[in-house]
């Protein structure tokens, strides 16, 4: 699987562990930064990660910030993205299986290197359910998104 990866300065120290684990389980990584611990704005990195997913350059994305919340808010502003904060194993796979999440957001100040490996493995191995009720609900999410009809500047 090819994944788009990004972080802000609060997630910088954990991003290398994320990238290393992804590589160890056979995933290819597109790294969108940040590349130092210098302060950056997470919405800028989230935009890059999400655009990569939407363009089909990556199958899914992972954002690492302080709590995962800011990255999730930013990612969910982009039409076509379904982002979730995942700090436990169950959420990491169920968000994909039930909600077709395409960007997982992780809080570096919440989880450490040991847990992040389990979260990533769970997220990467999950697939969207074929059950009708999950597909119907995700389609309703897409309808809500279309009704909002917000065009992002390119």
DSSP per-residue codes, 10-24: TTHHHHHHHHHHHHH
Active site residue 98: yes
Catalytic site residue from 27, 34, 65, 86: 65
Active site residue 86: no
The residue length of the chain stands at 154
Q: Which residues pair with 105 in a beta bridge?
A: 63, 85
Return the structure tokens found at 130: 């074929």
Active site residues: 65, 98
């Amino acid at each position: 699987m090819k994944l788009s990866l990004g972080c802000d300065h609060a997630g910088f120290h954990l991003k290398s562990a994320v990238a290393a684990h992804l590589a160890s389980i056979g995933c290819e990584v597109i790294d969108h930064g940040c590349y130092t611990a210098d302060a950056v704005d997470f919405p800028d990195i989230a935009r890059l990660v999400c655009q990569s997913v939407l363009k089909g350059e990556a199958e899914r994305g992972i954002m690492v910030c302080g709590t995962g919340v800011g990255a999730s808010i930013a990612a969910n502003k982009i039409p076509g993205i379904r982002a979730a904060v995942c700090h436990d194993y169950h959420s990491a796979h169920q968000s994909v299986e039930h909600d077709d999440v395409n960007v997982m957001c992780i809080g570096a100040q919440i989880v450490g290197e040991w847990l992040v490996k389990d979260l990533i493995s769970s997220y990467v191995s999950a697939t969207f359910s074929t059950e009708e009720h999950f597909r119907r609900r995700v389609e309703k999410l897409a309808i809500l998104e279309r009704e909002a009809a917000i065009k992002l500047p390119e």
